[in-house]
Amino acid sequence: MDYSVLTELYEKLENVPSKLTKTAILVEFLRKVPTSELQKVVLLVQGRVYPSYSEQELGIASQMMMKAISKATGLTVSHVEDKLKRTGDLGLSAEESVKSKKQSTLLKRKLTVDYVFENLRKLSTVTGSGSQDKKLNIISELVVSAKPNEARYIVRTILGDLRVGTAEGIIRDAIAGAFLIDEKSSKEEKENAVNAVENAWSLLNNYGEVAELAKMKGIKGLQKVGIQLGKPLQVMLGIAAENIETVVKDFGEILAEFKYDGMRIVIQKKGDKFWLFTRRQEDVTKQFPDIVEFARKSLKAKECVVEGEALGIDLKTGYPLPFQILSQRAHRKYDIEKMAKEIPVQVNLFDIMYVNGKSLFNEPLKERRKELKKIVNPINGKFQLAKFIITNDVKKIEEFYEDAISNKQEGLMLKVLDSPYVFGRHVETMYKIKPVMENLDLAIIGATWGEGGRVRWLTSYILGCKDPDTGNLLEVGMMSTGLSEDQYDDMTKKLKPLIINEKGRTVYVKPKIIVEVGYQEIQKSPNYNSGYALRFPRFIRERSLDKSEPDTLNRVVSLFRSQGRLG
């Protein structure tokens, strides 16, 4: 297939905002793609050449891209950079550059999907000395042969920012629409098809493979997909519960379990081989040799997939360390053994999806727990079953909750005993109970300019609370979520006239705008001059109209202290 056929599709997708129309366009398109190219096309439509879990990276930064565009078009790098400043998008800069190209077209060749795909993959495999030059050549050769709009999408794909709005839900629905259903299908058939696609995707993590399977083997084929040892999977997610009482009223006897504030970890074992995956499907096996060792000693089954929460443990107190400290380990490439000694981990297991050739995810939780208990030889304090009780007594669960909080854990999970394990979904059979934090009113005292499609807006906001003694504003965090595009636009318009100082991409503003901010918790932090930081701050609403004063540091401190108590 010619690459231009794909770019035509990209242009169509980029120009229609509606999800339904995008899906319909994709359905038509996918039906026409030859089977041999389907996997590649489905990856490319998502703007990637490897499935999301893959560790292969193209590793091209914008600086190198500008050089490649310059090399291919004969324009100077600063010329390309000017275009970037104007458009905020290197893809468009490449397109414009190719249009105004000074070089001859002798070197041009017709680009096919195969050729582009293989060359993009090559970018991840060239290593060693001279690899930068080799990468530069690969990209510029592609751009030399590209028509202007092809250059736009090649460059965006390499930079991992395709901008045609093909979110995972759209790809899922399009695969179902193209290969499993038609206009005559009933609502139920449609739902079944979408569920089958989603089920296969949760286990394969690659819509390319899922599409081929859907086309060749239909719904039955997708439903047969089982656990793939060595590949990450999409974990099951819970939802927040109103309170303990409502959950017990709805379900009766339930399993209440400590909710640990650590890192979710899926441990896979096949003989003497082990894999560790995070909730975001990252392979962290190398980063946690200690967990592999525990698993080797403790897991009795020949093959299994179990799940739990890994916690960093404070060597001095024995209490859990804040999540950020453990997460430093997850991305370490060197000094791994040293880090493992400094930040020892504890794994608390709470589920099992597979054992010795048998999938368990359709079994009820109470059966899965029996299996888990059978195959785990606990190593006390290091690799053990999560702490739980099974009861329908609200009072007992409340006491257990207090027990969790006083042990410095996050709260409880309440789980329905006869529920299956549903991959990749928020389910109504697993509830989180944790202290609710009151929102804070804070002043915006600075902001940074966005990137990519958001260059025109200030998109991260420095938040400040008031020092009650001096009246000065003290930083307590940086907020960049919770706003819609319109709200970014509106906020930017309001902040621009308030700018008093600029440093690089950061601006400092008069503290005129007060916002209500939600967050998960407050932590001590040396990074901000208040000494505290909000974890996951998110915009709730602007308060300037009804309130002109930010909260004080005293309130931040008292909320910080109240976290240790029952909320």
Give 27 or 347: the residue with its C-beta nearer to ligand AMP. 347
Residue with tokens 């509830």: 431
Give 238 or 424: the residue with its C-beta nearer to ligand AMP. 238
- Left, alpha or beta for 61 (phi > 0: left; psi -120 to 50: alpha)? beta
Least CB distance from residue 210 to ligand AMP, whole Å? Answer: 24
Residues 219, 221, 226, 228: what is their CA dihedral angle, to the nearest 10 degrees?
A: -120
Measured in whole angstroms, how far is the alpha carbon of residue 537 from the centre of its chain?
A: 17
Least CB distance from residue 425 to ligand AMP, whole Å? Answer: 13
Q: What residue ranges bind ligand AMP (CB under 6 A)?
A: 238, 257-260, 264, 279, 309, 350, 386, 413, 432
Least CB distance from residue 434 to ligand AMP, whole Å? Answer: 7
Least CB distance from residue 209 to ligand AMP, whole Å? Answer: 25
Two tokens, residue 240: 């927040």
Give 25 or 437: the residue with its C-beta nearer to ligand AMP. 437
The single-letter code of the amino acid at 552 is T
CA distance 351 to 296: 17
Give 259 or 269: the residue with its C-beta nearer to ligand AMP. 259
Least CB distance from residue 379 to ligand AMP, whole Å? Answer: 18
264: number of Cβ within 10 Å: 16
Give 173 or 257: the residue with its C-beta nearer to ligand AMP. 257
User: Radius of gyration of the chain from Cα atoms?
Assistant: 26
Least CB distance from residue 301 to ligand AMP, whole Å? Answer: 21
> Can 297 be counted among the known catalytic residues?
no
- Left, alpha or beta for 134 (phi > 0: left; psi -120 to 50: alpha)? alpha
Of the candidates 146, 125, 143, 109, which has an alpha carbon nearest to the alpha carbon of residue 49? 125
Identify any residues that bridge with 258 across adjacent strands, giving them in sequence order.
412
CA distance 428 to 330: 30
Give 238 or 420: the residue with its C-beta nearer to ligand AMP. 238
CA distance 451 to 456: 8
Two tokens, residue 421: 């394990």
CA distance 9 to 314: 53
Residue with tokens 């400290």: 325
Contacts for 20-25: CB closer than 8 Å, 24+ residues apart: 22/165, 22/166, 22/170, 23/170, 23/173, 23/174, 23/177, 24/177
CA distance 271 to 411: 35
Give 434 or 543: the residue with its C-beta nearer to ligand AMP. 434
The residue from 259, 269, 415, 434 that is catalytic is 259
Give 244 or 444: the residue with its C-beta nearer to ligand AMP. 244
Least CB distance from residue 86 to ligand AMP, whole Å? Answer: 41
CA distance 366 to 351: 10
Least CB distance from residue 373 to ligand AMP, whole Å? Answer: 15
Of the candidates 321, 368, 374, which has an alpha carbon nearest to the alpha carbon of residue 523? 321
CA distance 21 to 13: 8
Residue nearest to ligand AMP (CB): 264
CA distance 562 to 434: 13
User: Which residues are known catalytic residues?
Assistant: 259
